Structure 1
Amino acid sequence: MRILHVLSAEFFAGSVAYAVQLAEAHRAQGHQVWIVADADALPTGATLVWAGISNRRYGQRLRNARIIRQVVRRENIDVVHCHSRAASWVSYFALRGLSVPLVSTVHGRQHLHTSTSLFDIYGDKVIAICENLREHLAVEVKMAPAKIVAIPNGVAFGPPQPVDEAALRVSFIGRFNGGKGERAAALLQQVFPALLREFPTLRVALIGGELEHLPAAGKAALAQLQAEFGARVEVVGFTDDVAGWMARTTLVIGAGRVAIEALGAGRPVLALGEANYAGLVTEATFATAAASNFGDISARQASTAVDFAALLADARAVLQTPLRVSEPVQQQVRAHYDLARVAARVLEVYQGARMQKAGIGYIPVLMYHKIPDAPLATKHQIYVTKENFEKHLAYFKQRKLTSLTFADYLQFARGERPLRDFPARPIILTFDDGYTDNYTNLLPLMQQYGYRGVLYLLGDFDVRYNQWDVAADPTEPRSDIMSLEQKRAFVEAGWEIGAHTMSHPRLSALPPPKAAAEISQSKAALEAVLQTEIVSFAYPFGDLNEDVKAAVRAAGFALGVATDTGGLTIEDDRMQVFRVNMFPNESTSSLFKKTSPWYRKYYRWKRKK
């Protein structure tokens, strides 16, 4: 893709570091990247274009918009990604009348004034860097929830550095202006004096930019500490060697990116941000701390008062018995904030915005199972006879519906195929389990009508019948599953093969490691044996929860398909694509209903979902 980032870069804040690292991650994958910013230089190989983004005077805003529009047109940009309100504002107007999507990453709470709700300047998709921020945008700013996705800032973690165990040091790392500066001033007044007196070998380091903007009370307290403790108070200021200072630090106090990098390096963290004090980050507190970006962001308007006596007690406890962050917490942090993972998620957002901007919304996704010669004596009404299925195909053909696979859809979304070739009336036909009648009845009919579909198979090729049904109810008739050669015939016919676990369990009932293994192993097995890329996953029984969806994403699937649950469009939630269940006695009117754009809304309304 051809990606343009727009950002305010008057100083190298965490949002700037995130944008630069994201640009580099995408460049490494072969994407072309440009950056428009008010910076003469940034640590990136992306093409840099200067514009006064931070300057909010209307004359400069208009010039900024003109610069962005020129870059978009000249470089044939696919997506514009903004990293501040000022950047979103000028980009919104720069893109008016163009078919280029706008994505904004929101790094903090937004001011709740009238224009925030009246003017949706943030574009087609909005990335919230933590769960609290996503809730704030949906509830308080009143953004459409479907357009918001929570994706954390990515971090390129290096190998763990050796720790200087000889030094006893507390480091406050962060900016010294605004809300962070006020926190630093309070630490200098209420916490650091007591710690320096109690621990004779302790050093306190102040690391970060904008030190000259430290509040007056903080400057006075700092001067007093320097007079009393001399070189034990280390005023570092801005430095390129934050990782080195972390390695020499016993306890880090900070929020946001600082806390993430420190935890990834194995350093204990007291999460103190502009919104609150989230405490010492442990396995038990990680989820709550991460939701607030480690103290920086509250979900709702609330008091920002901090109990510095409690913070002092926590710091004292860590210094009395120095500790390293546990391995599970380090792994959790490195997995959740991994730059490669985050960059892949952001690319999905770009693709979704691109499809949305092109007007590609509702696509009927139908779910079939067995296609037998005659009706089956089963309580599970998951079949359509060969005769009736041909009527379905004739109806689809008469309505000029064009078959699409999820692999096809992704090619359009990724820019591998031009959007002008996207079918005007697409339909996705999916078939679960891989029954033998799919080979004998389904495949010939689909070929006769010029259709292709998505076949969801088990990764265990030794499973040769519906043993999950028979195990649950011995009276259930046995239905055979295709042989390996029959399955290969679908690959040769141009069908997409999707994964359906190894053994067809209810995933939400399994321990998470077992569920994750069922999911990931099925992808690996199908790709190895059938020699085809597996991009989508179907949840057995339509059974899923957020942990299962996360496991599907972690296994490398681009899409997860459900049963009668999910968003109104594919891009509402790629891990929970709405599929419509098809039954033995579908009529012309039910086929019309189930392939109509209004059906999913109707389904939700009827079932109060």
Structure 2
Amino acid sequence: MRILHVLSAEFFAGSVAYAVQLAEAHRAQGHQVWLVSDAAELPTGATLVPAPISNRRYGQRLRNARLIRRLIRAEDIHVVHAHSRAASWVSYAALRGLKVPLVSTVHGRQHLHASTSLFDIYGDKVIAICGNLRTHLVTEVKMEAAKIVEIPNGVGFGNEELSDGTSSSSEPPRLAFIGRFNGGKGERAAALLHQVFPVLMREFADLRVALIGGELEHLPEAGKSALEQLQAKFGERVEVVGFTTDVPGWLARTTLVIGAGRVAIEALGAGRAVLALGEASYDGLVTEATFGTAAASNFGDISAAQAPATVDFAAVLAEARAYLQAPQPVTAALRQQVQAHYDLAAVAARVLETYQTARMRKAVPGFIPVLMYHKIPDAPLATKHQIYVTKDNFAKHLAYFRSRKLTPITFADYLRYASGERPLTEFPPRPIILTFDDGYLDNYTNLLPLMQQYGYRGVLYLLGDFEVRYNQWDLAADPTEPRADIMDPAQKQAFVAAGWEIGAHTMSHPRLSTLPLPEATREIARSKTALEKALQTEIVSFAYPYGDLSEPVKQAVRAAGFALGVATDTGGLHLEDDRMQVFRINMFPNETASSLFKKTSGWYRKYYRWKRGK
């Protein structure tokens, strides 16, 4: 994709670090990236275009918007990603009348004034970095919940191994406050300097206190006074570091970190204990048990509802004292929790999916019919399931699709348009996706020749276990069901050669939600690996057997590396409502011209939801 980031970068805050790391992660994957920023220099190989984004004067905002609009047109930008309210404002203005989507990452609570609700400046999709922020945007800002996706800030964790998260015997204990020293963070630092650090330094004779972060000159006056007193009394044990690019080095020499947001994430990922203290709250010592709550507030930085940001610094002192008296290693489980939740590669993948979602919702706002077929036999079958369409009737379906100027595409095709690999100008005006489950022999003998006759391609969902040669799941449930043979490997390969997409359908066709989650996860992941190895083709979509799914099962499909999960009779109004639960339409033996018209019409999904409540 061709991605443009717009950000306020008067100083190197966590949001700037996030944007830069995201840009580098996407560049490493082959995407082209531009940054429009206050800063003339940033640690990135992306193309950097300086502009005073933080300047809120209306004349300058207009000039910024014009600059961004020219850049979008000149470089054929696919998506704009704004990282502050000021960046969202100018990007929103720049994109008026263009079909390029705007994605905004909201890093903190938004001011509740009229323009926040009147003008939807945040664009087509909004990334909330934590649970509390999502709640705030929905309940207080009144933002449409469907446009918000919760994705944390990504962090590129180092591979260095720290012994156990505690200081060695040769290193004095060190308590570090890491963060900005202006605004709310500065007020927290001032209170620590006045109420917490002097007591601890008296009680622990060799304790060092490090102050690490930018904007130290903007520390509140009460804080500056307390710092001077602390330095006068304890001398070199007070380490005023200020801004540094060697935060990992300081973490390696620190016993206990006080901080929030990205600071807390990096410290925990590196095995350093953290007291989560942010602008909104004090969340205490982060443990396996408290991680979920702390992560929801971005480690104390963000509250879900407007409330006084009061902190009991006596509690901070008590917890810091208890930890320094008996330091406990950060457990491997907690460290893994943190690294999994904030892993930069995983976050970059989810952000990229958000870009694609915004792009396709803007370019293709209507419903794309996804039809679900199974067997294509020569004659009607004596089966209660009615999941077949005879060869002759299917030929009529294809003739109908052509008469209605419907163009069959695959999910793989769709993803190529979404990613920018294929231009949206080539996207068919009336797309349809034809899918076929299980891989029955009659798909090879009847389906494939008919589709080739029309020049059509579809999506074939196969089991990963090629030893399964008939519909044994049907017979296990009802021995009176007719046996239906499944294709051999060479016949399956013929579909790959014909340009079809192959999708995964588990290894053995179980009801996934009834299995223990580890077993369901194996069925899902192994089917992708087995099919890619056997057929030498990329597998991007997964079909849930029986349409049976649950939220944990959907998460397992995403974790296995699938871009899409297709359901049966459930899912959103638009494919991009939930890529892990794409709505498919059952096709039956006695479809008529009227039912084909209905099932391939743009209004059908809304009608089905109204009629069935699904």
TM-score, length-scaled by structure 1: 0.95
Tell me the distance in 2 between the aligned counterparts of 1:134 and 1:199. Answer: 41
1:21-58, CA deviations, whole angstroms, 9 ceiling, x for partnerless residues?
A: 11112222222222111112111122221111111011
Give the SS at the match of 1:99: coil
2:603 is the counterpart of 1:598: yes
Give the SS at the match of 2:538: coil
Residue in 2 that maps onto 1:99: 99
1:303-355, CA deviations, whole angstroms, 9 ceiling, x for partnerless residues?
A: 43233333333323322222222222222222222222222222222222222
Tell me the distance in 1 between the aligned counterparts of 2:516 and 2:233. Answer: 56
Q: One-letter code of the match for 2:330?
A: V
Tell me the distance in 1 between the aligned counterparts of 2:140 and 2:591. Answer: 44
- Offset of residue 161 of structure 1: 4.8
Residue in 1 that maps onto 2:108: 108
1:165-186, CA deviations, whole angstroms, 9 ceiling, x for partnerless residues?
A: 2331121111111121222223
2:578 is the counterpart of 1:573: yes
Tell me the distance in 2 between the aligned counterparts of 1:198 and 1:582. Answer: 76
1:367-401, CA deviations, whole angstroms, 9 ceiling, x for partnerless residues?
A: 12222333334333322333333332222222111
Query: Closer, same or farther in 2 for the Cα pair 1:93/1:230, shift >3 Å?
Result: same
Residue in 2 that maps onto 1:424: 429
Gaps of 5+ in 1: none
Tell me the distance in 1 between the aligned counterparts of 2:429 and 2:340. Answer: 40
Residue in 1 that maps onto 2:238: 233
1:497-538, CA deviations, whole angstroms, 9 ceiling, x for partnerless residues?
A: 001111222323333333222222111110111011111111
What are the equivalent positions in structure 2 for 1:390-429 lying under 5 Å apart? Answer: 390-429=395-434
2:138 is the counterpart of 1:138: yes
Does the 8 A contact of 1:147 with 1:572 survive in 2? no
Query: Closer, same or farther in 2 for the Cα pair 1:113/1:607, shift >3 Å?
Result: farther
Residue in 2 that maps onto 1:382: 387
Tell me the distance in 2 between the aligned counterparts of 1:503 and 1:303. Answer: 56
Tell me the distance in 1 between the aligned counterparts of 2:204 and 2:464. Answer: 59
Q: One-letter code of the match for 2:362?
A: K
Identity of paired residues, percent?
A: 80
- Offset of residue 270 of structure 1: 1.7
Give the SS at the match of 1:191: helix
- Offset of residue 233 of structure 1: 2.3
Tell me the distance in 2 between the aligned counterparts of 1:95 and 1:156. Answer: 31
Residue in 1 that maps onto 2:158: 158
Give the SS at the match of 1:415: coil
Does the 8 A contact of 2:162 with 2:271 survive in 1? no
1:212-248, CA deviations, whole angstroms, 9 ceiling, x for partnerless residues?
A: 2222333333333333333222221111111111111
2:323 is the counterpart of 1:318: yes
Query: Closer, same or farther in 2 for the Cα pair 1:419/1:158, shift >3 Å?
Result: same
- Offset of residue 285 of structure 1: 2.1
- Offset of residue 466 of structure 1: 2.3
Query: Closer, same or farther in 2 for the Cα pair 1:139/1:591, shift >3 Å?
Result: farther
Residue in 1 that maps onto 2:216: 211
What are the equivalent positions in structure 2 for 1:428-507 lying under 5 Å apart? Answer: 428-507=433-512
2:270 is the counterpart of 1:265: yes
2:4 is the counterpart of 1:4: yes
Tell me the distance in 2 between the aligned counterparts of 1:313 and 1:464. Answer: 66
- Offset of residue 14 of structure 1: 0.4
What are the equivalent positions in structure 2 for 1:297-308 lying under 5 Å apart? Answer: 297-308=302-313
What are the equivalent positions in structure 2 for 1:11-160 lying under 5 Å apart? Answer: 11-160=11-160
Give the SS at the match of 2:542: strand
What are the equivalent positions in structure 2 for 1:161-172 lying under 5 Å apart? Answer: 161-162=161-162, 164-165=167-168, 166-172=171-177
Does the 8 A contact of 2:162 with 2:270 survive in 1? no
Query: Closer, same or farther in 2 for the Cα pair 1:280/1:606, shift >3 Å?
Result: farther
Does the 8 A contact of 1:161 with 1:247 survive in 2? no
Does the 8 A contact of 2:367 with 2:605 survive in 1? no
Tell me the distance in 2 between the aligned counterparts of 1:603 and 1:94. Answer: 38
What are the equivalent positions in structure 2 for 1:218-257 lying under 5 Å apart? Answer: 218-257=223-262
Query: Closer, same or farther in 2 for the Cα pair 1:203/1:464, shift >3 Å?
Result: same
1:278-297, CA deviations, whole angstroms, 9 ceiling, x for partnerless residues?
A: 23222222222222222222
Tell me the distance in 2 between the aligned counterparts of 1:576 and 1:298. Answer: 31
Residue in 1 that maps onto 2:190: 185
TM-score, length-scaled by structure 2: 0.94
Give the SS at the match of 1:378: coil
Q: One-letter code of the match for 1:278?
A: D
Q: One-letter code of the match for 1:142?
A: K
Tell me the distance in 1 between the aligned counterparts of 2:588 and 2:388. Answer: 6
Does the 8 A contact of 2:405 with 2:430 survive in 1? yes
Q: One-letter code of the match for 1:210?
A: E
Query: Closer, same or farther in 2 for the Cα pair 1:193/1:601, shift >3 Å?
Result: farther
Tell me the distance in 2 between the aligned counterparts of 1:374 and 1:198. Answer: 88
- Offset of residue 607 of structure 1: 3.1
Query: Closer, same or farther in 2 for the Cα pair 1:509/1:275, shift >3 Å?
Result: farther
Q: One-letter code of the match for 2:208?
A: R
- Offset of residue 360 of structure 1: 4.5
- Offset of residue 422 of structure 1: 0.9
Tell me the distance in 2 between the aligned counterparts of 1:135 and 1:592. Answer: 41
Tell me the distance in 2 between the aligned counterparts of 1:240 and 1:451. Answer: 56
Give the SS at the match of 1:45: coil
Tell me the distance in 1 between the aligned counterparts of 2:188 and 2:251. Answer: 20
Query: Closer, same or farther in 2 for the Cα pair 1:132/1:581, shift >3 Å?
Result: farther
2:336 is the counterpart of 1:343: no
Q: One-letter code of the match for 1:73?
A: R
Tell me the distance in 1 between the aligned counterparts of 2:80 and 2:431. Answer: 28
Q: One-letter code of the match for 1:271?
A: A
Tell me the distance in 2 between the aligned counterparts of 1:255 and 1:378. Answer: 61
Query: Closer, same or farther in 2 for the Cα pair 1:476/1:138, shift >3 Å?
Result: farther
Tell me the distance in 1 between the aligned counterparts of 2:477 and 2:461. Answer: 21
Gaps of 5+ in 2: none
Query: Closer, same or farther in 2 for the Cα pair 1:273/1:500, shift >3 Å?
Result: same
Alpha-carbon RMSD across the aligned residues, in angstroms, is 2.0
What are the equivalent positions in structure 2 for 1:522-541 lying under 5 Å apart? Answer: 522-541=527-546
Give the SS at the match of 2:283: strand
Tell me the distance in 2 between the aligned counterparts of 1:271 and 1:604. Answer: 45
Q: One-letter code of the match for 2:119?
A: F
Bigger Cα displacement from structure 2, 252-261 vs 63-72: 63-72
Does the 8 A contact of 1:368 with 1:581 survive in 2? yes
Query: Closer, same or farther in 2 for the Cα pair 1:82/1:196, shift >3 Å?
Result: same
